[in-house]
A and B are shown apart, each in its own frame.
Chain A
Amino acid sequence: MNQPQERANSKRKVRCLVIQLTRLGDTLQSLMALRAAKQLYPELEIYFLARERFAAAAKNVSWLKEVITLPTESILDPIITKQRTEVETLGELARWVSPLVKERWDFIVNWSYSNSSSFLTALLPGRIKLGYTRRLDGSFAAEDGWSHYIQAIVQGNVEQNIHLTDILTTQLLTALQISLGEPQECGNLAVTSKSFFSLSLENPIWTDPRKKWIGIQLGASHESKTWGVENWASLASLMLDRHPDYSIVLLGGPQDKKKTSYLLEYINQKYGETSPERRRVLSLVGQTDFELWARVVGSCSWIIAGDTAVIHLASVLGTRVLNLSIGGVRFDETGPYGNGHYVIASSLPCDACAGEKNVKHTCREDISAEAVYATWTYAASEWAHNREIKLDEHFSQFGWLDRLGKVRVYRSMIRAADCGGGVVFEPQIKSSIRFCDWMAQVMGHVARAWYCGWTPRIGTELSREYISPGLVQNLRQLDESASALAKTLIEARQVATALSRKSSFLKSDKLMNIDDRSELRALGQKLLDIDSFIDRFGKDSKALLPFIRMFKVLMHNLRGQMLTDLGKESAESYNQLAQGVGILRDWIKHTLALARPVAVKGARVISISRGKELI
């Protein structure tokens, strides 16, 4: 019997309900995080709750104890079509909830991070709850530190660079470690693999090792995230012209059929309907259920796609991805997970991505077919050049260096455990780091300090060559306001501590003498004044907004009932924020020091006139 099985048998089963009521991409990311947890804690019995129409992925995972589905269509459609009222439907929903309420859950992990799921989490009895829920009075609550971070930062549209899969994994493993103790040793078992799903479908076309497939997913959940079909056609044409060893399989839903027709017509006209090139293009658009889709994606050498579920499916199955990051998505958080994936994004400002309404996503047009093709050929030939050739040199060989100016290209890498682990996207083109990307690194560092208890050295992934004069100027300005915010937070902590101490000596929060009441009132008022002052920092400096959002979330989630507990918790929250702002200031200091001109020591200078070396 192997070691994980022994532990699983010897330990009491731990019943864990995971609520994932969002979409397929989130489901796949959740499954990746759960695979890691199951490997480390085999005693976990994982029950996975998903919407019926997004449950197919989970149903093909053998190590889940059970997949519970929420029949949203049958419950919600009569309400949406006004055949029934919400109150009339309540009974049906209650019947669905009833078996879940009867269970005794050790863990309820709500990874939906949605309003609806917070109500469901509150309804179910669980020893430990993670994610969003509701308090006894029905008000919204985030149960743990990472949930605060997701609410304030990730869902607050603040740039940060920790991948969602890493957040979920760390959140769950931390809770398991606190509750169940150290995990079992299982070395570095891979979380992703071709055998992630138990698929019964066998078809020689997808198992022939001589055949090399490139999967192209034409659509995405929103039009803004999709690349133009004429671009896909040009890309396919470049591949067909120059890579006779590769075939292309087109993937997508029924709504992508129009795009598919355009693309196939383009190929037909260019090469002929019976040409060898045309025979190397297969369309499965609108024809794949989950099992076929997973089989095909797992058999491809590459998947090229926008921000859509297929990049997570490919990540799970260990298929390499070239992700076209289009339309205001953040690949740091939701890009392909694993080693050696590539991401290509526009390097130019896009008003729509910046939040402007009724304007086009110009980022879609900045990424040319040539840029995607050159990036793919660079990535696919890594084995030959071992990345000793730079990406810009590779573009130059095609004469397409001008295409590189409009894009940023990144390569994913899993950090070593002693560097903090998790996925990081390394830039492949030398260019100045943008302020938002710098801030994303800072926020990632702050989150690790807050919730992991361990942080890498400041600026490990920041290089001097990426620092621009503009960034230096921004940071100098930011340092002043960050310093003022840090001082204010420390003052707030002191007042909250005084409030807690003072109230701890009182027998009641309501009955007290007039002097005590006056003193408490004065402290309370002072804290309110400081709070409104803290709020102003977010209005004056956009860069400090993440801390102000976090401040609001932390204050909303105080749990204490008595004044002394509330004061103590508030002091801890101010302290947490002050620590975060302190890390921000350390980053500013480090970056400004890095940008400072450095004298070259001991340079050997050769005098041309005398032909002698001068030291």
Chain B
Amino acid sequence: MGTDIRLITGQVAAIESSKEETDVQALLLGFLKALVEEQKFVPDETAEQ
């Protein structure tokens, strides 16, 4: 897991220097936690199809 995070961090930092200060792991974790939360409110697609 750690390797992946470092990989991402390195890529982001290299591409956009302004991102260097960003805590990429925190953003990923924020993304994941918010997805889990939102999953409760996203109904099955077949409900609309």
Give the interface of A toward B (CB within 8 A): 21-25, 51, 53-54, 72, 75-76, 79-80, 86-91, 93-95, 97-98, 101-102, 104, 114-116, 118-120, 122-123, 125, 134, 136, 138, 219-222, 253-255, 286, 288-290, 293, 308-310
List A contacts of B16 (CB < 8 A). Answer: 125
Point out the residues of chain B lying under 8 angstroms from A79, CB to CB.
Answer: 32, 36
Complex contacts, A253 vs chain B, CB 8 Å:
44, 46-49
Give me the 6 closest cross-chain CB pairs, A-B, nearest first.
A91-B1, A116-B34, A119-B31, A253-B46, A94-B4, A309-B48
- Please encode chain B, from 5 to 49, with 1 for each CB lying within 8 Å of some chain A CB and 0 for all others: 101100110011011011111111111111111110011111111
In the bound assembly, the distance between CA atoms of A45 and B21 in angstroms comes to 30
In the complex, which residue of chain B has the Cβ closest to the Cβ of A24? B48
Interface residue from B15, B21, B28 paired with A136 (Cβ < 8 Å): B21
- The answer to whether A24 touches B45 (Cβ under 8 A) is yes
* Residues on the B chain within 8 Å of A115, using CB: 34, 37-38
- Check B31–A120 contact: CB distance below 8 A: yes
Can you list 19 A-B contacts with CB-CB less than 8 angstroms, sorted by A residue number? A21-B38, A22-B42, A23-B42, A51-B42, A89-B32, A91-B1, A91-B5, A94-B4, A94-B5, A101-B12, A102-B15, A119-B28, A125-B12, A138-B23, A253-B46, A254-B46, A286-B46, A289-B49, A293-B49
Contact indicator A94/B28 (Cβ below 8 Å): yes
- Give the residue among B29, B37, B39, B48 with the most A Cβ atoms within 10 A: B48
Q: How large is the interface on B (under 10, 10 to 19, 20 to 34, 35 or more residues)?
A: 35 or more
A76 touches B39 (CB 8 A): yes
| Contact B35 A75, beta carbon cutoff 8 Å | yes
Cα of A86 to Cα of B37 in the assembled complex, Å: 12
Q: A76-B36, A125-B15, A308-B48 are in contact. List 5 more A-B contacts (CB 8 A).
A: A24-B48, A54-B45, A75-B32, A86-B36, A116-B31
- A21 contact set on B, CB distance < 8 A: 38
Q: Which residues of A contact B5 (CB under 8 A)?
A: 90-91, 94
**Which residues of chain A come closer than 8 Å to B49, judged between CB atoms?**
24, 253, 288-290, 293, 309
Q: Identify B28's interface contact among A51, A80, A123, A254, CB under 8 A.
A: A123
Bound complex: CA A54 to CA B11 (Å): 29
Q: How far is the CA of A118 from the CA of B37 in the complex (A)?
A: 14
Q: Do A90 and B29 touch across chains, with their CB atoms under 8 A apart? A: yes
Instruction: Flag if B47 contacts A221 (CB, 8 Å).
Output: yes
Q: Are B32 and A123 in contact (CB under 8 A)?
A: no
With a cutoff of 8 Å between Cβ atoms, the chain B residues found around residue A134 in the complex are 27, 30
How far is A505 from B25 in the complex, measured between Cα atoms in Å? Answer: 40
Task: Give Cα distance in the complex from A86 to B1, angstroms.
Answer: 12
Contact partners of B45 in chain A: CB under 8 A: 23-24, 53-54
Contact across chains for B47 and A93 when beta carbons are under 8 A apart: no
B24 to chain A, nearest CB (A): 7
Q: How far is the CB of A370 from chain B (nearest CB, A)?
A: 27
Task: List the B residue with the shortest CB-CB distance to A55.
Answer: B45
Q: Of A76, A94, A310, which is within 8 A of B35 by CB?
A: A76
- Contact of A138 with B30 at beta-carbon distance under 8 Å, contacts A76-B35, A125-B19 already known: yes
- Nearest-neighbour CB distance to chain B for A340, whole angstroms, equals 23
A286 CA to B15 CA in the complex, in Å? 46
Q: Is the CB of B27 within 8 A of A119?
A: yes
Residues of B contacting A118 in the complex (Cβ-Cβ under 8 angstroms): 34
* Distance (whole angstroms) from the CB of A421 to the closest CB of chain B: 28
